[in-house]
Structure 1
């Protein structure tokens, strides 16, 4: 133990190289982990973990602690310094700092799974720096134990210090990033390739230097013991060896990088691909199905009560989005698809909850009102804005609300699983919304195929009966006619006009009679709506006055769905959005009134439709039916139309509420993309699979080929040594290395004559007299008074090659193959011991 302590305190070249190797791979690991976090606090975590482990391990070895004591001290250091190193959010207040230690203990176990369920980059969100802190602390502690303990098994440093890089790969993102084109070479994933080259290059260089260092020490000890000194290599020879190694490495890179680029898929598979976190979003039904609850004037009276309040740049943002529904299953429009795939799921997006003070962003402060639950039910959908850049929660529940916030960037919709209550507030920051393009100017995406499976036949017949064209102009005309021929009604029973202080929704149409309206958005309900419109048009005639064509009854629930299905039938991807208008610029005379005075009440809840054009931009338009012209009176003597309309009744299977998955990934919605042509090329997957197999074989075989090449280069250098003496002496070393790789003992302290006798006895195929001659020739070249001539050196190598072949012939073929890739001659020093 005393010798071990002395070695720890006595620095030498190997110690500095080992420390340099550890610190270099720490830097590579930090670089590899940057895409996961993208916060400069990552440097604090990595540097702090490295310094803490180095201090504890060095102190433990110097003070001769047991390994158990070192591990305990390291755990204590983690508990003390874990909060400042990995939870910077704890510095907001004294109470948060104390709570940070409780969060540290929980994060030690829970943050690993949480890290693969959060949209990246995660920053320092929810103590997600803790897994990196633990990984770096443990790996560097083991590495420093090997370094300061001066263990002989220094090779273990390589797998230990590659573990942090493996952490960055396993918990990283799935994207390969933009390809890098360098002339004819294409690097598909430049960042990952750079990390791999740096990590493996540093590890390989470290092992080569360590082996060379051990060999040098062995030669030095042998020279000190025998008094015989070998001539060192020349500078030209050293440069030539370095150049050869560099050339081999460069050739390997030039071969491996292009092959890996052709075999790499567009996305990598990481741990987050296999984890499907459970979410409570599957408890919530589509918010559009409870739309009419906001227009009730009984109980909590959500119609006249504040659902939420706001202040800020309302005119620049236009609307508050509560939920975006892109998937229609024949029964209802839903936020998530029935299969609840990961690509359409909500996820934690720490980059939204971090501070964002970019100039030019509009800001809106929102506070949940007392009627939020009455109007929307126990909803998890959080009102946000289009183009959200940042969200910051305030109040006493700031941490819980931040942790419970999920977002779908594709849908521009947020969810709050921590639960919302009156008084909860937050600030939204987004780019000011430009005035949307007119609906008539929008064109459907190229190659878009109209939806037909969930469109009622009566809708198709009504569209055909209008005789308008397609595209945005036809869609705009159809929506205008639908709204003008509809009549607004929110219930089956007449709620009355109410009072001046507590009116009902009937105040909008107090001069018109009440009309019953069925709830629902199924194909049957929408089909009945268009059947009524089509029947009235057939009875009144195509040239009838507008007031004679009003026949559809409903509210935003039915008319938004009907409008979206019309857009789908014309080839426009469409989605329904539920929310509030907070600016009069986005409403019209028939729309639900916009919020006023910074207050949104139940009467302001509305739904609109967004369609995507060929430019990939979404264009919003209102769908609320008019409320000023009553339903047209039906003729007393109605005759059967000459061409009766057959409305097919669709029976849609009731689908259970979709499961939600608040996990990250790329997002999808109900967007229509051009169908790929039939019969894809067969050679493409074959080429990908073949490239992957070839790459895997190269990865496995490349080290073996490199080792064989190194042995060939070593033999050539020995054979072409500058002096005949060195050529003879190194020739004997080549014979010994061959024997060692075959499994025979190294020369050690034996004389060359004794070694020749040993090898002759082990292999009957060799010529014992020739081996003795080679041994005496090597002794004469090293210890003799005269140097051998070049011809004698050439004859020596000729006999040597013959004996090497005979020596190997005594062993089975599998043993000879293993000798080609054996490292024993490098590890034992072979003939140079």
Structure 2
């Protein structure tokens, strides 16, 4: 018979065991380790581990004295103490910490999370953002240890640990694998639960393993596909920083909106035609004269104006204006080159931060520098904006390199046309169809449209006399009048805005950039500001990049005359198609299945076909199937883009498995398909090559192909011979999945 004293002794023995406390700390630190690809350095992990140890010790002390309820008071106090140690403390004259210290610690408990998800990874492990791992470690370890020591349910302490892991994965970045981390973490938690259940009622722990081991194996195997399908693996999983925390840059006025401020406009009180905007210097080096500054990159047209928008780059998770990554917070000693320093004058009066080329680093280690906390950066477009208006006494230094912007003659357009911009540019359709009518390629059509614009155009800022009739702006009415009206007259604002829309309507992705070339004295004035058009093309080596369409190819600098006769409207030659031009980037329309869209066939023509041709086709059809597969394999193996060769190799393995009758899930990620194929290593290699930061070499792709072909041959083992013989003739891999 069990007496109360015996129950108390068992409880005391359970509390006194350090096993549960140690497991709580280790599992908390392992969950926090999911931020490995999110933070820079290792300081975040150390403070998280310190918080976990502190929270677990508090729970153990309270459990020994049967005072677990007091943890609601002591855990927040422990967080405050550790947070003060992490952030530092400043003391007042009375010897007590200043009020700013307490305010920073208390408000940091919720301000650290927007900083974590609002910064491009890797996040610099310093300041307020470090309170995120501190808070996660203290609270989670205290809860897990308290439940482990105060609850009889073996699985109770696992609940806060799984909540922490979910929060880490959602607030982290795409660098960590959900399936791998989830499977390892789930296995560790299950082992802990089994050990706890084995020792809870006095039963031997070893006796539980014959039953628990199969459960562990099954749960671990299921965790990989289920975790990848629920949270999403690699590029498709939910990451909070991609749903929120982007700076609302599209509502900020751009230099193109205020372009006439930089022109000779005496009537404007803030006219900056002759006023200095920026002073550009290169400390200890030659003059920066000739450097091309980029003020803003405008990548979407909303029908009213060209704006800078977030999440325009297809397939990218970095095309957002957020706090700068730790990779950019460097010095000139670290980067090994001399920075470019820009001093902003009071006439700049804008939030945009001029840069040049591709940003490599930002130096903030000098007096008067713009605080990094006030900057938001887009690494895809390499453009930045401040959260306040920049003016006199603002300075910053940065390191950059200058990529090639020359538009090759043999380039081809990228398929990544922005659909919103394409739809908004419908009024430019006549120009697009007229240029495409006699063009040999889309880029040739863009050049023809540019030449037509230059021939018809006149340049005017609309500032003096009768020329004030030529209004500013880039809305549909103004650009429609510029393209299709009686006079093609405007300045950089209308020329660049209209040319970019015509190119987009042709099917070539285009954007508008505003900037200035640094003069000899390094002082950029309003008259130096220009706007130009950039096209997204695929160069002969298979890479996509933005290249500049020369301004001289579409801009006319001839002045209009008051007695100029109205121009004839642009017309489409008779041989040009009359239907709307769809951009190449759009997927095939599903309404093709409509019978009305199919070519008409007369019954007489169908009936007049010779039966012998049908018999010949029936005899040749089986031999055509292997030939099609051979051609398909050759195209995949020699694709222009190296990453496409990896994708084609993996698809070749999947297609052979389908031809052999192996059930491979369609429209699923490679890791999920790899479970059915037993080729997890190959799937991981393909994902690393496609989604990794570096560009794989052709030799690596060829080696991967040879490995895939060897694995494809191994799929035949264990199958009957008739299945192997019929595989080349199977239509399974040719059907649409």
- Equivalent pair of 2:356/2:402 in contact (CA under 8 Å): no
Change over 3 Å in CA distance of 1:679–1:192 after alignment to 2:
farther
- Equivalent pair of 2:432/2:449 in contact (CA under 8 Å): no
Answering whether residue 389 of structure 2 is matched by residue 389 of structure 1, we say: no
Q: Which residue of 2 aligns with 1:319?
A: 292
Secondary structure in 1 matching 2:590: coil
Quote the Cα distance in structure 1 between the aligned partners of 2:290 and 2:16: 64
Change over 3 Å in CA distance of 1:674–1:317 after alignment to 2:
farther
Q: Which residue of 1 aligns with 2:551?
A: 623
Quote the Cα distance in structure 2 between the aligned partners of 1:389 and 1:97: 38
**Count of residues in Structure 1 that have an aligned counterpart in Structure 2:** 565
Give CA deviations for 1:709-741 in whole Å, capped at 9, x if unaligned: xxxxxxxxxxxxxxxxxxxxxxxxxxxxxxxxx
Quote the Cα distance in structure 2 between the aligned partners of 1:359 and 1:516: 52
- Equivalent pair of 2:183/2:224 in contact (CA under 8 Å): no
Give CA deviations for 1:33-84 in whole Å, capped at 9, x if unaligned: 323434411122112212333454556667x595576554443332233044
Change over 3 Å in CA distance of 1:150–1:395 after alignment to 2:
same
Q: Which of 577, 586, 590 is 1:678 aligned to?
A: 590
- How far 1:607 moved relative to its partner? 0.6
- How far 1:367 moved relative to its partner? 1.9
- How far 1:283 moved relative to its partner? 5.0
- How far 1:134 moved relative to its partner? 1.4
Q: Which residue of 2 aligns with 1:171?
A: 171
Give CA deviations for 1:726-771 in whole Å, capped at 9, x if unaligned: xxxxxxxxxxxxxxxxxxxxxxxxxxxxxxxxxxxxxxxxxxxxxx
Change over 3 Å in CA distance of 1:244–1:626 after alignment to 2:
closer
Change over 3 Å in CA distance of 1:420–1:634 after alignment to 2:
closer
Which has the higher Rg, Structure 1 or Structure 2? 1
Q: List gaps (5 residues or longer) in structure 1.
A: 178-189, 220-232, 374-378, 495-512, 536-550, 583-594, 649-669, 682-686, 695-833
Q: Which of 18, 30, 33 is 1:31 aligned to?
A: 33
- Equivalent pair of 1:146/1:154 in contact (CA under 8 Å): no
1:739-758 map, 5 Å = none
Change over 3 Å in CA distance of 1:623–1:116 after alignment to 2:
same
Change over 3 Å in CA distance of 1:274–1:523 after alignment to 2:
closer
- How far 1:680 moved relative to its partner? 11
Quote the Cα distance in structure 2 between the aligned partners of 1:126 and 1:459: 56
Q: Which residue of 2 aligns with 1:440?
A: 409
Change over 3 Å in CA distance of 1:151–1:451 after alignment to 2:
closer
Answering whether residue 547 of structure 2 is matched by residue 597 of structure 1, we say: no
Quote the Cα distance in structure 2 between the aligned partners of 1:339 and 1:300: 33
- How far 1:304 moved relative to its partner? 1.9
Quote the Cα distance in structure 2 between the aligned partners of 1:244 and 1:144: 26
Quote the Cα distance in structure 2 between the aligned partners of 1:397 and 1:671: 48
- Equivalent pair of 1:483/1:623 in contact (CA under 8 Å): no
Change over 3 Å in CA distance of 1:17–1:607 after alignment to 2:
same
Give CA deviations for 1:653-688 in whole Å, capped at 9, x if unaligned: xxxxxxxxxxxxxxxxx996242452799xxxxx78
Secondary structure in 2 matching 1:289: coil
Answering whether residue 261 of structure 2 is matched by residue 293 of structure 1, we say: yes
Moved more, 30-39 or 602-611: 30-39
Change over 3 Å in CA distance of 1:210–1:435 after alignment to 2:
closer
Q: Which residue of 2 aligns with 1:370?
A: 346
Change over 3 Å in CA distance of 1:570–1:55 after alignment to 2:
same
Q: Which residue of 2 aligns with 1:611?
A: 535
- Equivalent pair of 1:447/1:673 in contact (CA under 8 Å): yes
Quote the Cα distance in structure 1 between the aligned partners of 2:386 and 2:165: 34
- How far 1:578 moved relative to its partner? 1.0
Q: Which residue of 1 aligns with 2:323?
A: 348
Quote the Cα distance in structure 2 between the aligned partners of 1:118 and 1:339: 18
1:649-688 map, 5 Å = 673-676=585-588, 678=590
Quote the Cα distance in structure 2 between the aligned partners of 1:331 and 1:574: 17
Q: Which residue of 1 aligns with 2:161?
A: 161
Change over 3 Å in CA distance of 1:618–1:299 after alignment to 2:
same
Q: Which of 293, 303, 307 is 1:334 aligned to?
A: 307
- The alignment's TM-score, normalised by the length of structure 1, stands at 0.57
Q: List gaps (5 residues or longer) in structure 2.
A: 92-96, 573-581, 594-664, 673-737
* Structure with more contact order per residue of length (Cα contacts < 8 Å, sep ≥ 6): 1
Answering whether residue 217 of structure 2 is matched by residue 250 of structure 1, we say: yes
- How far 1:346 moved relative to its partner? 2.9
Give CA deviations for 1:121-173 in whole Å, capped at 9, x if unaligned: 433366223233112112222344466x6775665322233332232134234
Quote the Cα distance in structure 1 between the aligned partners of 2:525 and 2:250: 27
- How far 1:100 moved relative to its partner? 5.4
Quote the Cα distance in structure 2 between the aligned partners of 1:262 and 1:70: 38
Secondary structure in 2 matching 1:572: coil
- Equivalent pair of 2:280/2:288 in contact (CA under 8 Å): no
- Equivalent pair of 2:39/2:122 in contact (CA under 8 Å): yes
Give CA deviations for 1:175-208 in whole Å, capped at 9, x if unaligned: 4x6xxxxxxxxxxxx8222322233222222232
1:492-503 map, 5 Å = 492-493=463-464
Change over 3 Å in CA distance of 1:161–1:573 after alignment to 2:
closer
Change over 3 Å in CA distance of 1:280–1:76 after alignment to 2:
same
Change over 3 Å in CA distance of 1:606–1:98 after alignment to 2:
farther
- How far 1:352 moved relative to its partner? 5.6
Q: Which residue of 2 aligns with 1:269?
A: 238
- How far 1:575 moved relative to its partner? 0.4
- Equivalent pair of 2:144/2:160 in contact (CA under 8 Å): yes
Q: Which of 180, 183, 190 is 1:194 aligned to?
A: 180
Q: Which residue of 2 aligns with 1:49?
A: 51
- Equivalent pair of 1:439/1:475 in contact (CA under 8 Å): no
Q: Which of 487, 507, 510 is 1:574 aligned to?
A: 510
- How far 1:602 moved relative to its partner? 0.9
- Equivalent pair of 2:56/2:138 in contact (CA under 8 Å): no
Answering whether residue 58 of structure 2 is matched by residue 80 of structure 1, we say: no
- How far 1:257 moved relative to its partner? 3.2
Quote the Cα distance in structure 2 between the aligned partners of 1:304 and 1:89: 49
Change over 3 Å in CA distance of 1:13–1:242 after alignment to 2:
farther
Q: Which of 276, 286, 302 is 1:306 aligned to?
A: 276
Quote the Cα distance in structure 1 between the aligned partners of 2:9 and 2:369: 53
Quote the Cα distance in structure 2 between the aligned partners of 1:56 and 1:253: 33
Give CA deviations for 1:628-664 in whole Å, capped at 9, x if unaligned: 75547968xx8x99xx64899xxxxxxxxxxxxxxxx
- How far 1:424 moved relative to its partner? 1.2
Q: Which of 21, 24, 40 is 1:22 aligned to?
A: 24
Quote the Cα distance in structure 2 between the aligned partners of 1:468 and 1:53: 71
Q: Which of 212, 216, 232 is 2:198 aligned to?
A: 212
- The alignment's TM-score, normalised by the length of structure 2, stands at 0.63
- How far 1:556 moved relative to its partner? 0.6
Change over 3 Å in CA distance of 1:676–1:467 after alignment to 2:
closer
Quote the Cα distance in structure 2 between the aligned partners of 1:82 and 1:559: 55
Change over 3 Å in CA distance of 1:167–1:444 after alignment to 2:
closer
Quote the Cα distance in structure 1 between the aligned partners of 2:592 and 2:109: 48
- Equivalent pair of 2:296/2:352 in contact (CA under 8 Å): yes
Answering whether residue 57 of structure 2 is matched by residue 133 of structure 1, we say: no
- Equivalent pair of 2:261/2:271 in contact (CA under 8 Å): no
Q: Which residue of 1 aligns with 2:496?
A: 560
Quote the Cα distance in structure 2 between the aligned partners of 1:404 and 1:213: 55
- How far 1:415 moved relative to its partner? 1.8
Quote the Cα distance in structure 1 between the aligned partners of 2:423 and 2:344: 40
Quote the Cα distance in structure 1 between the aligned partners of 2:345 and 2:304: 31
Change over 3 Å in CA distance of 1:165–1:447 after alignment to 2:
closer
Q: Which residue of 1 aligns with 2:474?
A: 521
